[in-house]
Chains A and B, each alone.
Chain A
Amino acid sequence: MSSPIDTLVNREYQYGFVTEVQSDTLAPGLNEDVIRLISSKKQEPEWLLDWRLKAYRRWLTMTEPHWGNVKFDPIDYQAQRYYSAPTSVKPKQSLDEVDPELLDTYKKLGISLTEQKLLAGVAVDAVFDSVSVGTTMKEELSRYGIIFCSFNEAVHNHPDLVQKYLGSVVPYSDNFFAALNSAVFGDGSFCYVPKGVHCPIELSTYFRINAAETGQFERTLIVADEGSYVSYLEGCTAPKRSTHQLHAAIVEIVALDNAQVKYSTVQNWYAGDKDGRGGIFNFVTKRAKAFANAKVSWTQVETGSAITWKYPSVILQGDNSTGEFYSVAVTNHKQQADTGTKMIHRGRNTKSTIISKGISAGDSQNSYRGRVQVLPRAEGARNYTQCDSMLIGNRCGAHTFPYIEVANNSSTTEHEASTSKIGEDQIFYCKARGLNAEHAISLIVSGFCKEVFKELPMEFALEAQALLGITLEGSVG
């Protein structure tokens, strides 16, 4: 008798459509001229071009990292296109001027850029390939002094802020993909919350890759000034294509004294087909710097991408600062994920919490990699790490790579780990109570992920639960 989960059908990736728009796309290849061209298309100031070129020159000296527990053939960087933007997108256009085709794309993704009533409580910056096509609620936010706009717009309108903080958390020399991003980034989102302001709504960026053979290299810079608060959401999808596409993004967060930033991601890039053809290579650098008494929380639900390589981290710079990382990473079929966090304790009495839940199904490999580093000055630092893995079926793998370095003797670190297998017994138990296999798996997995889901904003929690159900359908052989 076949396994009950076997009988489930594989639902198609829901967001795999392609938008037919006329685009301004660069020929494949990367050199200084390409970078100059990208910079000139964005009418960037000289200092930013210089910064890009420095990053590029640094990148040329670096090698593609293969230390992660993921396997992929070396990428031909000259075969990639580094810029693609719909020709209809004009600099400084208002939302009323956005191409209806693009509006329709976002509508299909469940995001309305025009109908304000559907957006209650959330402001969106919509990034399409290499450009931002529009940002909602800008005027409403500006009443609070909050700046929320595309990165390119910030470069023009708030150059002092961008210049001060760009690369201050993730320097262009940080790693291979960060250097590449710094050289070629297209667009992204920028957010500044002034002193003492509690941002009244959720801010969000929605990343959409559309063009073929084109990488998406966006960057997000969030600056929360002293005593401010902001909650930021990120979503992402891409069309189904049979070749891999590179997504190398950077998110930098600066939380100044007493500020609080909550950054939540539901990552649903196209994962490739069940045999591992196509899908996004998601090689992302996300890092925050928390100054005195500041708090930064990363919450991520990673269900998509052929390969995920990302470690949202917190540098606990100031005394009494707090860093949190809550993660659910789900892999199915041939997906590979190597994800986790770094908590770098520099300040005294700094505190970090890491809760990681990995779910592997099919032939996938799912690794948690985390570093907890307590520097000599960070007296009284505390860390609690818990990583749990769940296996569905017999062909997948779960791995844990924790690194803990403590350089003083007044700090406490705790690490707990567990691995469990979702059993036919659990599923049968649910079925014997009238629940079908799909319902049973979603129930069991939701229970497993509960500690992370409760950290997600309401809008995302429901989406994440639904997404998990879809990702795991047909997951056991």
Chain B
Amino acid sequence: MLKIENLHATAGGKEILKGVSLTVNAGEVHAIMGPNGSGKSTLAQVIAGHPGFEVTQGSIVYDGENLLDLQPEERAQHGVFLAFQYPVEIPGVTNAYFLRSAYNEIRKARGEQQVDPMEFLDVMEQKLKLVDMDPDMLHRSVNAGFSGGEKKRNEILQMAVLEPKLAILDETDSGLDIDALRVVAGGVNALKKPTNATIVVTHYQRLLNYIVPDKVHVLAHGKIVKSGGKELALELEARGYDWVLEAA
């Protein structure tokens, strides 16, 4: 589904990704771990098409297409979803309106019919339950005045509504208490299908107790320095990152 080869990316002239290669197949969950500043979030943002990064070398092929040729909105319309580490506030725009706009854009791209506000409420009803969210949230402005946990839950709600093929969770666990973490992970697991894939970017092993990865990768200094199964995450938790970095 996703094949990244020798990816180099810079921000403000500074190289952050220095040759990342990664292959993700449909039905898989991959975890990307690593110390602060290793380039984890950059990788997530480059896949989503953040304009602040320039890809200087390498390729990303998604579903047979060169992803780097697509605008961020086209990537989203093709089923790529990034759950933001820091979800952005949009005052005055209700969550419901924002979500329906996004939902309709993606349906339009798939050649499906757009839904009106009433139909959309039906869609939302089940999705809200998935992330244990109060329907009142739909009528509040997008992320404005939300607590950290509410923002993260809102990201998963969006993911549930948009049903992406490839979901990238960028440090979705940071700042969550254990109950919120369970809810968020429950939502992600419920959305898992043999036809879609998830990349979980995280600093801690904690989230991986709830979202069990098929593969774990350690990113350090802009490169994947070690890959393994889910047991690698436990080993990192126990021993820290130093031994991996030294070995690399």
A434 touches B51 (CB 8 A): no
B115: which A residues are within 8 A, CB to CB? none
The verdict on B63 contacting chain A, using a C-beta distance below 8 Å, is no
Inter-subunit contact B52/A435 (CB<8 Å): no
Cβ A443 vs Cβ B101 within 8 A: yes
User: What residue in chain B is nearest A440 (Cβ atoms)?
Assistant: B73
Q: Contacts A444-B93, A447-B93 known; A426 to B98 CB distance under 8 Å?
A: no
- The distance in angstroms between the C-alpha atoms of A14 and B34, with both chains bound, is 54
Bound-state Cα–Cα, A115 to B66, Å:
54
Tell me which of A2, A3, A425 has the highest count of chain B C-beta atoms within 10 A of its own C-beta.
A425
B109 and A434 contact, CB distance less than 8 A: yes
Does A424 sit within 8 A of B, measured CB to CB? Answer: yes
Q: Does residue B158 face the partner (Cβ distance < 8 Å to A)?
A: yes
- Closest A residue to B103 by beta carbon equals A434
Given the complex of chains A and B, what is the CA–CA distance between A425 and B84 in angstroms? 11
- In the assembled complex, A17 has its CB within 8 A of some CB on chain B: no
Q: Do residues B158 and A428 form an inter-chain contact, with CB atoms below 8 A?
A: no
With A4-B51, A428-B51, A447-B141 as known contacts, state yes or no: A435 contacts B73, CB within 8 Å: yes
- Indicate if the CB atoms of B92 and A435 lie closer than 8 Å: no
Shortest C-beta distance, B133 to chain A (Å), equals 17
Binary CB contact string for chain B from 59 to 84 against chain A (1 if under 8 A, 0 otherwise): 00000000000011101110001101
Question: A458 near B: Cβ within 8 Å?
Answer: no
Contact A434:B77 (CB < 8 A) given known A4-B51, A439-B101, A443-B98:
yes
Chain A residue nearest to B88 in the complex (CB): A429
Total B residues in contact with A, Cβ cutoff 8 Å: 34
Min CB gap A270→B, angstroms: 29
Asked if B48 and A448 make an inter-chain contact with CB atoms under 8 angstroms apart, the answer reads no
Residues of B within 8 A of A451 (CB): 92
Which B residues touch A2, using CB under 8 A? Answer: 51
User: In whole Å, how far is A237's beta carbon from the nearest beta carbon of chain B?
Assistant: 28
Q: Are A432 and B72 in contact (CB under 8 A)?
A: yes
A418, closest chain B residue (CB):
B91
A351 to B213, CA, bound (A): 62
Closest chain A CB from B196 CB (angstroms) = 16
How far apart sit A48 and B97, CA to CA, in the bound complex (Å)?
54
Contacts of A1 in B (CB 8 A): 51-54
In the assembly, what is the distance between CA of A4 and CA of B50, in Å?
10
Contact with A along B23-56 (1 / 0, CB 8 A): 0000000000000000000000000111111100
Task: Give complex CA distance A2, B109 in Å.
Answer: 24
Contacts of A3 in B (CB 8 A): 51
When C-beta atoms are compared, the residue in chain B nearest to A437 turns out to be B73
The docked-state distance in angstroms from the alpha carbon of A118 to that of B81 is: 45
Q: Which of A423, A424, A426 has the most CB of B within 10 A?
A: A426
Q: How far is the CB of A73 from chain B (nearest CB, A)?
A: 39
The interface residues of chain A lying within 8 Å CB-to-CB of B105 are 433-436, 439
Whether A450 is near chain B, meaning CB under 8 Å from some CB there, is yes
Contacts of B82 in A (CB 8 A): 432
Interface residues of A in 434-472 (CB under 8 A from B): 434-437, 439, 443-444, 446-451
Check A433–B51 contact: CB distance below 8 A. no
Number of contacting residues on A, CB 8 A? Answer: 27
Chain B 163-210 interface residues, beta-carbon cutoff 8 Å to A: none
| Any B CB within 8 A of the CB of A36 | no
> Residue on A with the closest CB to B81?
A432
* Contact (Cβ within 8 A) B102 A434: yes
Contacts of B158 in A (CB 8 A): 433
> Which of chain B's residues have a CB closer than 8 A to the CB of A450?
92-93
Could you tell me the distance between the alpha carbons of A4 and B75 in the complex, rounded to whole angstroms? 14
A2 to B54, CA, bound (A): 10
Interchain CB contact under 8 A, A433 and B90:
no
Contacts of A448 in B (CB 8 A): 91-92
A429 touches B102 (CB 8 A): no
Select from chain B the residue with minimum beta-carbon distance to A428: B50
Indicate which residue in B76, B106, B141 contacts A431 across the interface (CB closer than 8 Å): B76
- Partner of B102 from A4, A424, A428, A433 at Cβ < 8 Å: A433
Residues of B within 8 A of A432 (CB): 48-49, 72-73, 75-76, 81-82, 84
Among B54, B81, B91, find the residue whose CB has the most chain A CB atoms closer than 10 A. B91
CA gap between A425 and B48 in the complex, in Å: 13
Q: Which residues of A contact B109 (CB under 8 A)?
A: 434
Q: Across the two chains, which residue of chain A brings its CB closest to B55?
A: A1
Chain A positions within 8 Å of B89 at CB level: 426
- In the complex, B162 has a CB within 8 A of chain A: yes
Please, which residue of chain B has its CB at the minimum distance from the CB of A6? B51
Q: Which of A425, A434, A446 contacts B88 (CB 8 A)?
A: A425
**For A431, what are the chain B residues with a Cβ–Cβ distance below 8 Å?**
49, 71-73, 76
- Specify which chain A residues have a CB less than 8 angstroms from the CB of B73 in the assembled complex: 430-432, 434-437
Bound-complex Cα distance A66 to B140 (A): 44
Question: B87 within 8 Å of A by Cβ?
Answer: yes
| A451 and B91 alpha carbons, distance in the complex (Å) | 11
Query: 1/0 per position for A402-432, CB-CB distance to B under 8 A?
Result: 0000000000000000000001111011111
Inter-chain CA distance A356–B106, complex, in Å, is: 35
Assembled-state Cα–Cα distance A435/B84 (Å): 16
User: What are 17 A-B contacts with C-beta separation under 8 Å?
Assistant: A1-B53, A428-B50, A429-B84, A431-B49, A431-B71, A431-B72, A431-B73, A432-B48, A432-B73, A432-B82, A434-B73, A434-B77, A434-B109, A437-B73, A443-B101, A444-B90, A447-B93
The 10 closest A-B pairs by CB, nearest first: A447-B92, A447-B93, A433-B102, A434-B76, A429-B88, A434-B105, A431-B72, A450-B92, A431-B73, A434-B106
Other CB < 8 Å A-B pairs besides A4-B71, A432-B84, A447-B141, 4 of them?
A431-B49, A443-B90, A443-B97, A446-B92
